[in-house]
């Protein structure tokens, strides 16, 4: 597969800058079709991004003979449906994170990928950003000494739309999102920890709804122990006051401490007896670019194929375990 012709199912906000333009910045890749249920919005997206074809039905895009790879950028509840249908029609698939709205759906997606031989990728792009590669390099170089434990603190206030009970955002509706903001945001962190620390062997957690703005969780506590024995404790609060806004991960070692963020991209701090060093590697214009470039080069046979769906499945399994879904 040398020329990758992408079709995007769900050409919404995430595809405007974070991902969509990146597909056409890689040699041998372009977006040739987009789909959105609202036909006028699909037509407008295609016009603004110079995409030759647009559809209002997913099946029409999936069956388009000019499309050989599909990017599923819809809410999680439809990831499995569209990804499976695309793979069964011979297309490679790139799906937004989290992989699906539940672990069992992830298993079904992987089984279809294995049965059809169609590659399946998930948009955990932070593994490919220079910022988090810098964090991983520090860990691999042993600058912290022996790792002792990890502490995650993520606190954000409710968003303005969370107060709109008549039309809540889909990210807090479990039937659409799989859970609440924990599923949407913490999934990035849990995927990074899988990359940094390896597979989890123990997972426990508890979740609460403290503000009652919606029915999904707005407070989560979790404990993860990795196969190396490294313990991690995390608190995720989506009901915080503005003054409590926090996005920090601390990795404690016998020789130093490493501090960084997930979404704020504050400077990466290495704190030791010799002082504090800070680094802030830059992000690309389209934040998914490096993952998309790597994925396309794998599809073209320029890199060894390394589908990331198994790691993405582990992330769903961890989140479902924390939330008591399995």
Whether residue 270 sits in one domain with residue 139: yes
Has residue 317 been placed in a domain? no
Has residue 74 been placed in a domain? yes
Please provide the distance, in angstroms rounded to a whole number, between the alpha carbons at the two ends of the chain. Answer: 38
CA distance 221 to 108: 28
Given this model, what pLDDT does residue 305 score? 83
* CATH code, domain carrying 8: 3.40.50.720
* DSSP per residue, 5-46: EEEEES-SHHHHTTSGGGGGGSTTEEEEEEE-SSHHHHHHHH
B/e letters for 162-182, b = 16+ CB within 10 Å, e = fewer, are: beeeeebbebbbbebbbbbbb
Question: Residue 10: which domain range?
Answer: 4-123+286-305
Task: For residue 175, report the phi and psi dihedrals to the nearest 5 degrees.
Answer: -65, -20
Has residue 105 been placed in a domain? yes
Whether residue 175 sits in one domain with residue 215: yes
Q: Is the peptide bond before 60 cis (omega within 30 degrees of 0)?
A: no
Tokens encoding 322: 């924390």
- Tokens 């789909």 appear where? 35
* CATH code, domain carrying 272: 3.30.360.10
According to the 3-state scheme, what is the secondary structure of 83-117? HHHHHHCCCEEEECCCCCCCHHHHHHHHHHHHHHC
Q: Are 294 and 302 in contact (CB under 8 A)?
A: no
Coil, strand, or helix at residue 184? helix
What's the predicted TM-score (pTM) here? 0.97
Whether residue 224 sits in one domain with residue 92: no
CA distance 255 to 304: 36
| Residues 82, 88, 91, 94, Cα dihedral to 10° | 40
Has residue 313 been placed in a domain? no
Has residue 326 been placed in a domain? no
Alpha carbon distances (Å) from 326 to 38, 104, 177, 190, 318: 35, 9, 16, 17, 10
Given this model, what pLDDT does residue 215 score? 96
Given this model, what pLDDT does residue 306 score? 80
Mean pLDDT of the chain: 97
Given this model, what pLDDT does residue 95 score? 98
Given this model, what pLDDT does residue 211 score? 97
Q: Please write the tens of the pLDDT for every residue from 60-105.
A: 999 999 999 999 999 999 999 999 999 999 999 999 999 999 999 9
Q: Are 75 and 47 in contact (CB under 8 A)?
A: no
Whether residue 206 sits in one domain with residue 143: yes
Whether residue 137 sits in one domain with residue 94: no
List, for the chain, all residue ranges whose pLDDT scores fall below the cut of 70.
307
Has residue 65 been placed in a domain? yes
Whether residue 147 sits in one domain with residue 134: yes
Whether residue 167 sits in one domain with residue 220: yes
Whether residue 144 sits in one domain with residue 258: yes
CA distance 17 to 158: 24
Has residue 150 been placed in a domain? yes
Given this model, what pLDDT does residue 227 score? 98
82: left (phi over 0), alpha (psi -120 to 50) or beta: alpha
Has residue 311 been placed in a domain? no
Q: Which of 77, 3, 11 is nearest to 43 (CA)?
A: 11
Whether residue 53 sits in one domain with residue 153: no
Whether residue 278 sits in one domain with residue 134: yes
Domain count, the chain: 2
Alpha carbon distances (Å) from 239 to 44, 162, 204, 216, 245: 36, 10, 22, 12, 10
Whether residue 103 sits in one domain with residue 138: no
Whether residue 190 sits in one domain with residue 90: no
């Amino acid at each position: 597969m040398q020329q990758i012709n992408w079709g995007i199912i769900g050409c919404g906000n995430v595809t405007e800058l974070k991902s969509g333009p990146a597909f056409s910045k890689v040699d041998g890749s372009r977006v040739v079709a987009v789909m959105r249920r609202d036909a006028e919005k699909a037509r407008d997206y295609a016009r603004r991004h110079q995409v030759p074809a647009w559809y209002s039905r997913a099946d029409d895009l999936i069956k388009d003979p000019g499309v050989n790879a599909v990017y599923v950028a819809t809410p999680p509840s439809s990831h499995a449906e569209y990804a499976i249908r695309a793979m069964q029609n011979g297309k490679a698939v790139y799906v937004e994170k989290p992989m699906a709205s539940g672990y069992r759906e992830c298993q079904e997606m992987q089984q279809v990928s294995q049965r059809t031989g169609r590659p399946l990728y998930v948009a955990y792009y932070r593994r490919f950003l220079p910022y988090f590669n810098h964090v991983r390099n520090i860990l691999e170089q042993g600058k912290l000494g022996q790792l002792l434990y990890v502490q995650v603190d993520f606190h954000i206030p409710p968003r303005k739309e969370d107060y709109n009970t008549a039309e809540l955002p889909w990210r807090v509706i479990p039937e659409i999102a799989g859970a609440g903001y924990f599923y949407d945001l913490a999934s990035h962190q849990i995927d990074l920890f899988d990359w940094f620390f390896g597979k989890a062997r123990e997972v426990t957690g508890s979740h609460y709804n403290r503000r009652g703005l919606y029915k999904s969780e707005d407070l989560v506590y979790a404990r993860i122990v990795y196969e190396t024995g490294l313990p991690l404790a995390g608190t995720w609060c989506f009901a915080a006051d503005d003054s409590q806004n926090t996005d920090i991960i601390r990795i404690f070692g016998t020789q130093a401490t490493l501090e960084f963020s997930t979404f704020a991209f504050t400077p990466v701090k290495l704190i030791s007896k010799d002082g504090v060093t800070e680094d802030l590697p830059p992000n690309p214009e389209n934040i998914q670019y490096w993952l998309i470039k790597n994925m396309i080069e794998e599809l073209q046979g320029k890199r060894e194929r390394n589908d990331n769906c198994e790691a993405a499945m582990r992330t769903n399994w961890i989140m479902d375990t924390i939330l008591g879904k399995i």
